[in-house]
Amino acid sequence: RPPMKVSIDVLKVPGLTGWLPPLPLAVSVPAEATIRDLTRLAQVALRAAGAGGARVSLVMSPSREGVLPPQAGVAEMLGTADAKAVILADIPGASKAAAPPEEHCHSHGHSHSDGDSGTKRADGKLPITVLTGFLGAGKTTLLNH
């Protein structure tokens, strides 16, 4: 069977600044390729587009809910005509824009010290990331990759 053409976009993170390659990326994948293969090919395409060191974590489809399973076939998950995918990727050089300082009242009885972990910012706040999603949406997959 002839190779499939897949149009790949990168998931936009609100507040993300820095360089992103021209999107969408066009990737040619063998007809029998798996989502894991597509992940590797998308990573190669990102690096070829100038995002050296980019790592693709997961693949989603605009027409399906949740993260696509790595062992599933690309044709099965994305279809063969006008295949489109969205990826979550760590691209060096892209960073989260600084959030404006928030007013905070200290009258609610807790400390804002994070000890000696070395992660406290200059403003004394501890940066955290909250990961949410429906059952089966791919939260664990994202953490594992």
Q: What is the pLDDT of residues 29-50, one digit of tens each?
A: 998 999 999 999 999 998 888 8
Q: Give the tens place of pLDDT for each residue, 57-74.
A: 889 988 888 889 999 999
95, β-bridge pairs: 17
CA distance 74 to 41: 12
Q: 40 or 52, which is more confident?
A: 40
pLDDT of residue 88: 84
Among the residues of the chain, which ranges form H helices? Answer: 35-48, 74-78, 139-144
pTM reported for the whole predicted model: 0.63
Q: Which two tokens stand for residue 52?
A: 């050296």
**Is the Cα dihedral 25, 27, 32, 36 positive or negative?**
negative
pLDDT of residue 111: 46
Q: 89 or 30, which is more confident?
A: 30
CA distance 117 to 97: 23
pLDDT of residue 103: 44
